[in-house]
Amino acid sequence: MSRIGRKPIPIPQGVKVQVDGATVRAEGPKGKLAQPVPSGLSAKVENNVLVISRAGDDRKVRALHGLARALVANMVSGVKNGFEKKLEIVGIGYRAQLQGRAAPLLDEDCARLAAERALLDS
């Protein structure tokens, strides 16, 4: 059995999960999402935990077991926490600055941006 596929998905507080046939629907503070479950797999909610299980041991179903579990787990996490992008700059000699919600500007970008602003101002 797939190690990832057999892990239960905990349902956090404030998230409502419904299984409608071959579709898992999640609703939380950040929105609503739905994810279809491939044929040969089934989803069920028990004791505030969602479990993806497979009916047979077919090669295709085994391949999709972990994938389906990961997609549903990410969906449940997304309706609770939303999407977040983190950037980690590793090394020395880099300078970066954050301007609003845009991506951080590295040193080379800062020099180019200053030159562009100088051209626009003149």
Of 107 and 90, the structure prediction assigns the larger pLDDT to 90
Task: Assess contact for 105 and 112: CB atoms under 8 A.
Answer: no
- Does residue 6 carry a pLDDT above 70? yes
Mean pLDDT of the chain: 84
Residue labelled with tokens 């994810």: 35
Domains of the chain: 9-81 (3.90.930.12), 86-122 (no CATH)
CA distances for 39 relative to 16, 45, 67, 85, angstroms: 23, 18, 13, 33
- Rounded Cα gap, residues 56 and 64, in angstroms: 12
- Residue 85 is predicted with a pLDDT of 78
Model-level pTM greater than 0.75? no
Contacts of residue 115, Cβ cutoff 8 Å, sequence gap at least 6: none
Determine the average pLDDT of the residues in 59-87. 91
Average pLDDT over residues 85-102: 70
Q: What b/e readout covers 67-79, taking b as 16+ CB neighbours within 10 angstroms?
A: ebbebbbebbbbb
Instruction: Give start and end residues of each alpha helix (H) in the chain.
Output: 59-81, 107-121
Select the more confidently predicted residue: 98 or 34. 34
111 pLDDT higher than 60: no
